[in-house]
C-alpha cells in the first residue's frame, strides 16, 4: 500500500486558476495588488487591523523584533518547545533568548516560569502556539503589563485556532504566521506579520521592502515620486504568485480546519485508554487548528522503535519539535525538565485535511499494534 503522508497540502484547480491570473497580469513581484488583497483578507481572518505578507515566518519574526526596537543586550523570554526559528530570530536581531519551560499538557510556556525569568534586561515575551494551540495569553499579558514588556505571538502553526473566542494572531502586540507546506494553509512557503499597532506596522512595511514604501503604493501617481532611504531594510516580500495561492487557501480555511478536527477526533477515540501512548490535550477555552497531531510515548517504550515500525507499515511519522535549550547554537547551561522530556518522547503522526477515513483507521490500527507489541 502507498505510504500515509505525515503532512500534505490541499491544493487544486482553484489555486492553478489564481496563479494563471497573476501570470497574465504581468505583476509577479511581491507587495503588489494580489499581496494587498491577501493582506486585507488575512488581517480580517485573524482579527487584526494590519497584516503584512512576508517570505516566511522567520522573516516575520525578525521583522517584528526589529520594529519593537530590540537591541544587543536585551533579553527575550521564549517558550522553549519550538522549532528553533523562534530562538534564531532573537539571535539574528542581536538579543538573547531566555528559554522558559513549558506546560506538560499543551506544551506552551508555563506562565509561572516565564515570570520567574524576568530581569532588568528583559524587554518582551515571545510565546509560541505549539502545534497551533494558543498558550495562556491572559496570563502572559498580565506578566507583560506588570513588568512593562511587549508580547509577541509566534503563531506559525495557528491559522484557524482560537483562544477564548479570539483568533490566534490577535493575542499579542504582534504575531507571526507561517505558510510552509505542512501548515494548515500554505503556499509552499511564506508568512505574515500581523498587529493592531499602526506605528509598528508602518515601520515594518518600510523595512520589509528595503526601507521604502513598495512600488505598488506609488502606482497611479500623476507625478514621479522618488522614494528616499532613511534606514537599511530587507527584501522580505511574498511573491504575487504565492499571494494568489494564499487567497484561495483563505477561502478553503473553514473546510480545512473542519477536516483536521474530524481527523483529530477520530484519533482521540482510537487512542483513548491505550496504554503506552498519551493523546494531545485540547483545552476547552480554545480551538485547536491541528497543524500536527503529536503523541507522547511512555518513557519505557522506545520512541525510535515505534517510529521505525510505523514506517515499515507505511505510516510516515517524525519527532514533535525541539527543546530549544539543548541545541548547541544557543550555548545554554540550563535544564528545562518538561521540555526536555517531551522532546525525547513526542511522535507526530499523519495529520492533514486530505486524510481519508481508511487512512485514519490504518494509522490508528498501526499505532495500536506497534505500541502493543513494544509495551
How many CB atoms sit inside 10 A of residue 86's CB? Answer: 28
- Give rounded-to-5 percent helix, strand, coil for the chain: 40, 20, 40
Alpha carbon separation from 325 to 81, 95, 97, 181, 322 (Å, rounded): 9, 15, 9, 26, 9
Strands (E), the chain: 50-54, 75-79, 96-100, 122-128, 150-154, 162-163, 166-167, 174-178, 191-195, 277-278, 286-287, 293-297, 346-349
Residue of 24, 36, 44, 183 marked catalytic: 183
How many CB atoms sit inside 10 A of residue 249's CB? Answer: 26
Closest by CA to 90, choosing from 118, 121, 124, is 124
**183 catalytic residue (yes or no):** yes
Grouping H, G, I as helix, E, B as strand and the rest as coil, residue 303 is helix
The catalytic residue positions are 183
Amino acid at each position: 500500500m502507498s505510504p500515509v503522508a505525515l503532512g500534505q497540502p490541499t491544493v487544486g484547480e482553484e489555486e492553478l486558476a489564481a496563479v494563471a491570473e497573476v501570470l497574465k497580469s504581468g505583476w509577479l513581484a511581491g507587495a503588489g495588488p494580489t499581496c494587498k488583497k491577501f493582506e486585507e483578507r488575512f488581517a480580517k481572518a485573524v482579527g487584526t487591523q494590519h497584516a503584512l505578507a512576508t517570505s516566511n515566518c522567520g522573516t516575520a519574526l525578525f521583522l517584528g523584533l526589529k520594529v519593537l526596537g530590540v537591541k544587543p543586550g536585551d533579553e527575550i523570554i521564549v517558550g522553549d518547545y519550538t522549532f528553533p526559528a523562534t530562538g534564531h530570530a532573537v539571535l539574528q536581531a542581536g538579543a538573547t533568548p531566555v528559554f522558559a519551560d513549558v506546560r506538560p499538557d499543551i506544551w506552551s510556556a508555563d506562565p509561572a516560569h516565564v515570570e520567574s525569568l524576568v530581569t532588568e534586561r528583559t524587554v518582551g515575551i515571545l510565546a509560541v502556539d505549539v502545534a497551533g494551540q494558543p498558550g495562556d495569553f491572559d496570563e502572559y499579558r498580565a506578566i507583560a503589563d506588570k513588568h512593562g514588556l511587549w508580547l509577541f505571538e509566534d503563531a506559525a502553526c495557528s491559522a484557524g485556532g482560537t483562544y477564548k473566542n479570539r483568533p490566534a494572531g490577535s493575542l499579542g502586540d504582534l504575531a507571526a504566521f507561517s505558510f510552509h507546506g505542512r501548515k494548515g494553509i500554505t503556499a509552499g512557503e511564506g508568512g505574515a506579520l500581523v498587529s493592531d499597532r499602526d506605528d509598528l506596522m508602518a515601520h515594518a512595511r518600510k523595512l520589509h521592502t528595503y526601507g521604502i514604501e513598495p512600488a505598488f503604493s506609488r502606482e497611479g501617481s500623476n507625478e514621479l515620486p522618488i522614494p528616499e532611504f532613511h534606514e537599511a531594510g530587507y527584501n522580505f516580500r511574498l511573491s504575487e504568485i504565492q499571494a494568489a495561492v494564499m487567497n484561495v487557501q483563505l477561502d478553503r480555511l473553514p473546510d480545512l480546519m473542519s477536516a483536521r478536527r474530524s481527523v483529530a477526533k477520530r484519533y482521540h477515540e482510537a487512542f483513548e485508554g491505550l496504554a503506552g501512548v498519551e493523546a494531545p490535550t485540547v483545552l476547552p477555552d480554545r480551538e485547536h487548528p491541528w497543524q500536527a497531531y503529536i503523541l507522547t510515548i511512555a518513557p519505557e517504550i522506545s520512541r525510535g522503535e515505534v517510529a521505525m515500525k510505523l514506517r515499515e507499515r507505511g505510516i510516515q511519522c517524525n519527532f514533535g519539535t525541539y527543546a530549544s535549550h539543548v541545541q548547541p547554537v544557543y550555548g545554554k547551561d540550563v535544564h528545562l525538565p518538561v521540555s526536555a522530556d517531551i522532546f525525547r518522547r513526542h511522535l507526530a503522526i499523519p495529520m492533514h485535511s486530505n486524510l481519508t477515513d481508511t487512512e485514519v483507521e490504518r494509522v490508528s490500527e498501526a499505532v495500536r499494534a506497534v505500541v502493543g507489541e513494544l509495551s
